[in-house]
Every structure is written in C-alpha cells, then in structure tokens.
C-alpha cells in the first residue's frame, strides 16, 4: 500500500486484497473471531492440564495431574517479540491461538490434548505476511519451571520450510 501521512491513496490490487480479506472474515464461524473473556481456556487429558490466557502474549500454567505439580506457570516466552492473539480456534481436545507480531508476522500456536494420550502436543507456526525478509531464529517456551529435582524433557522440534 503506497500512502503518505497527508494522502489516502490505495492501489486497486491492495484494495481488492483488503476487501477479499474482510469478506472472508465475515464468513468465518464465531469460534474463530473474538478472544474469549470467560476465563482461561483449559485442555486436559489423564496426565496433564494446560490453562491458557491469551491476549497480549500468553499466560499459561501446565500441571502434571497425577502428582499435582505445576510444571510451568507464567508468561510463555517468545524471543522475537510479544504476539497479540486475537483469534481462538477451540475444537474438541485442541486449541489454536492466532495472532500477530507487529504487521509483518502471523503466529499460530496450537495445543492438542487428546483424552487417551499421555502427553500434550504443541505446534507453533510463524509466517511472514509482510513484504520483507524476517530473521526467524527465535526461541519459544514455557516459563516458571518448578525447583529441582524436576526437569523439563527435551521436546523434538520440526522446523518447516523457510521462505
């Protein structure tokens, strides 16, 4: 979009792109639109419970249910910058938070806790929606780990194709 502070110009291509995005947003189900104000989002199975409070950043608590030990509690760590989550997709046993970091980065953070499983799966997708390359050597993770002798296990990470 080419515009200055004093002018309000937009190209036809940019206008059509914005119009298409707005029209698609109007057709999405309600579960994809606004963030919930009804308290935390909770996922659990027989072993773990995760409580999510998204907004500017993500406050979360991860509890091992059989022992009652809080494995993590506090703000989730995003080294690139703090995302602003404005959409929630809440399906049976899975929650996906969708937000942005500035105007260049879209982040999709998913948690999956199926009743028959012994773990919680987590997936983070970072997408450049801007026009310029972005350094994505970021780190992510839970904070507020319990004192020793407890330790968090390493979690395998798949780094997808970079554009």
Domain ranges of the chain: 31-141
Tens digit of pLDDT for each residue in 4-52? 333 445 555 554 454 444 434 433 333 333 444 568 999 999 999 999 9
Is the pLDDT assigned to residue 144 strictly greater than 80?
Answer: no
How does residue 161 score in pLDDT terms, banded at 50, 70 and 90? low
In the structure, what pLDDT confidence band is assigned to residue 58 with cuts at 50, 70 and 90? very high
- What is the sign, positive or negative, of the torsion defined by CA atoms of 135, 141, 147, 153? negative
Secondary structure letter of residue 25 according to DSSP: H
Helices (H), the chain: 12-27
Residue found under tokens 């057709």: 27
Residue pointed to by tokens 């119009």: 19
Stretch 153-161: mean pLDDT: 54
């Amino acid at each position: 979009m080419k515009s200055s502070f004093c002018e309000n110009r937009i190209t036809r291509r940019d206008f059509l792109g914005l119009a298409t995005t707005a029209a698609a947003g109007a057709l999405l189900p309600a579960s994809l639109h606004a963030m919930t104000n009804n308290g935390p989002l909770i996922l659990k199975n027989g072993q773990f419970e995760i409580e999510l409070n998204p907004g500017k950043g993500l406050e979360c608590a991860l509890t091992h249910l059989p022992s009652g030990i809080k494995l993590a509690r506090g703000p989730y760590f995003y080294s690139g910058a703090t995302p602003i989550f404005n959409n929630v997709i809440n399906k049976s046993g899975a929650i996906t938070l969708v937000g942005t970091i500035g105007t260049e980065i879209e982040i999709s953070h998913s948690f999956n806790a199926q009743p028959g499983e012994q773990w919680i799966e987590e997936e983070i997708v970072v997408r450049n929606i801007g026009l310029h390359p972005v350094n994505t050597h970021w780190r992510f993770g839970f904070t507020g780990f319990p004192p020793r002798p407890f330790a968090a296990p390493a979690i395998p990470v798949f780094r997808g194709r970079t554009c």
